[in-house]
């Protein structure tokens, strides 16, 4: 299996941060509305992926992934906060 790159080769920017490319995002936004059901489906998708990863990795890798997920959460929260400050 070919690895999906995490970084854009040209810019060095995070490649996986482009939400608009994701099929799950496109499906949820097709009607211009995100429903509670779509949120729940996405939550279940993430949980299932984490279960698969959890079963496959050793403790050190698990901790790295946990740290990364926490920092990505902070990054996205900061981006939302920053965007809301710009629109104020």
Enclosing domain of residue 82: 33-86
Domain count, the chain: 1
Choose between 13 and 39: higher pLDDT: 39
Q: Is residue 14 part of a domain?
A: no
Residue 87 φ then ψ, to 5° = -85, -5
Q: Is residue 68 part of a domain?
A: yes
Q: Give the global pTM.
A: 0.77
d(CA 68, CA 52): 17
- pLDDT tens for residues 17-65? 678 888 998 999 899 999 999 999 999 999 999 999 999 999 999 999 9
Residues present in the chain in total? 88
d(CA 71, CA 24): 22
């Amino acid at each position: 299996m070919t690895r999906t790159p995490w970084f854009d080769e040209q810019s060095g920017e995070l490649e996986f941060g482009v939400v608009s490319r994701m099929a799950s995002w496109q499906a949820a936004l097709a009607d211009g509305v995100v429903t509670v059901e779509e949120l729940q489906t996405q939550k279940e998708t993430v949980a299932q992926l984490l279960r698969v990863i959890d079963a496959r990795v050793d403790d050190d890798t698990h901790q790295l992934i946990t740290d990364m997920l926490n920092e990505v959460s902070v990054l996205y929260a900061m981006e939302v906060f920053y965007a809301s400050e710009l629109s104020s």
